[in-house]
Amino acid sequence: MKIIFPKVLACLLLMWSATGCSKDSAEPQEEFFVKAQKDGQPWDKTGEGYFAMGKREFYVFSPDTIPVTTTEVLQLSFALPKKQVLSSVQALPAEWKLLIGGDGITDSYASTDGTGLPSIQITKLDTVQRIVEGRFEAVLRRKAVYTQQTELMRFTNGSFRVRYKELP
């Protein structure tokens, strides 16, 4: 009896430790995403991107992938210098849209002279697997066609990881 008990205990401990570290216990995380705090609330979408090779410009999008009647899309873009120095990317105007039926714009915010360009920092660029990662912050102003007042939308603590497609 003395010899069997330690072996059984060792087997139970081994089985417990093997099941305690399984991948099922971790929260699932999207492989490609665009996420931030939108006006102080968590905002997390799947992400995709495009690289216009002729202009040397990246476009990062956060479209909803599930077909719904309304879709919220954030577009971030930046120009990549010829030497591909990641710390010196030039941010381009950002835009947020609320679409109905996939193409009808019902609301829109954009970066303007009054709000400035977003802050974009590229942390990783993998040209073999075509993945770009980075951080961003943006203050967007509601377009005048939707309001007569100054209404701002703030994206803070933003990050993205997207696979991009190359365009000519």
pTM more than 0.85: no
pLDDT at 134: 94
Q: Provide the mean pLDDT of the chain.
A: 78
Asked, for residue 133, whether it belongs to a domain, the answer is yes
DSSP structure string for 55-118: TTEEEEE----S--SEEEEEEEEEEPPTT--GGG-EEEEEEEEEEETTTEEEEEEE--TTT-PP
Look at residue 8 and tell me if it is in a domain.
Answer: no
- Kindly report, residue by residue over 84-106, the tens digit of the pLDDT: 666 668 899 999 998 887 678 88
In a domain, 48, yes or no: yes
In this prediction, residue 4 has a pLDDT band, given cuts at 50, 70 and 90, of: very low
Q: Is residue 16 domain-resident? A: no
* Residue 123 domain flag: yes
**Inside any domain, residue 103:** yes
For 69, the domain range is 24-167
Please report, rounded to a whole number, the percentage of residues in the chain having pLDDT higher than 90. Answer: 43
What's the structural domain count of the chain?
1
